[in-house]
């Protein structure tokens, strides 16, 4: 896994145009069974890949924090939402709350999430490969293939399965 993770940025860059073209075609004409096929590929891939061996998403990218996320996590820490924001978050160029620093301050040395039960919605749904209407998030999926070995493998498997 470590070797694949080290090679992932290079692999994703090499396959960027191919993946982008495939996802664009998929968006233009999604098969009727796309959501079902994506769920199968997602489940199959996550039987092979253990996020605890990687945690690259937590080390290299930060989630968006919704107001609900902020309130829930602040409550978990027995903090006021404003105090949580001041301590951990900043506003990015898109006017979204994101982490002040990476890796994520809630990532433990063993790759476990210290706030797993109350983690942001974006973390819980990452890499978003099992969501409904998958074809609507092509840009996000393309970006996630650079960070997440599972997302990369799911797109590769999808290209083979759907032969677009």
Q: 133-155: b or e for each residue (b if 16 or more CB lie within 10 Å)?
A: ebbebbeebbebbbbbbbbbbbb
Which residues make Cβ contacts (< 8 Å) with residue 127, sequence separation at least 6? 57, 141, 144, 147, 148, 150, 151, 154
Task: Give the chain's mean pLDDT.
Answer: 94
How many Cα atoms sit within 13 Å of 80 on the Cβ side? 3
Residue 152 confidence (pLDDT) above 90: yes
Model confidence over 49-102: pLDDT tens digits? 999 999 999 999 999 999 999 999 999 999 999 999 999 999 999 999 999 999
Residue 3 confidence (pLDDT) above 90: no
Model confidence over 98-122: pLDDT tens digits? 999 999 999 999 999 999 999 999 9
Confidence of residue 2 (pLDDT cuts 50, 70, 90): confident
Residue 123 confidence (pLDDT) above 80: yes
Confidence of residue 162 (pLDDT cuts 50, 70, 90): confident
Residue 48 confidence (pLDDT) above 60: yes
Residue 160 confidence (pLDDT) above 90: yes
For CA atoms 87, 53, 57, 44, the dihedral sign is negative
Provide the whole-model pTM.
0.90
Work out the average pLDDT over 17-44.
92
Question: Which DSSP category does 49 fall into?
Answer: -
């Amino acid at each position: 896994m470590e070797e694949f993770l080290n090679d992932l940025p290079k692999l994703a860059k090499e396959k960027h145009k191919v993946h982008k073209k495939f996802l664009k075609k998929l968006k233009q004409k999604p098969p009727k069974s796309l959501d079902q096929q994506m769920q199968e590929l997602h489940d199959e891939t996550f039987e092979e890949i253990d996020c605890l061996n990687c945690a690259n998403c937590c080390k290299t990218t930060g989630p968006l924090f919704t107001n609900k996320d902020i309130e829930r996590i602040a409550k978990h820490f027995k903090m006021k939402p404003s105090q949580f924001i001041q301590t951990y978050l900043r506003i990015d160029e898109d006017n979204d709350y994101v982490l002040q620093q990476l890796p994520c301050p809630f990532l433990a040395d063993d790759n476990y999430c210290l706030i797993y039960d109350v983690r942001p919605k974006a973390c819980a749904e990452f890499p978003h490969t099992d969501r409904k209407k998958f074809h609507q998030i092509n840009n996000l999926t393309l970006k996630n293939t650079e960070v997440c070995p599972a997302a990369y493998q799911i797109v590769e498997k999808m290209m083979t399965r759907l032969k677009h």
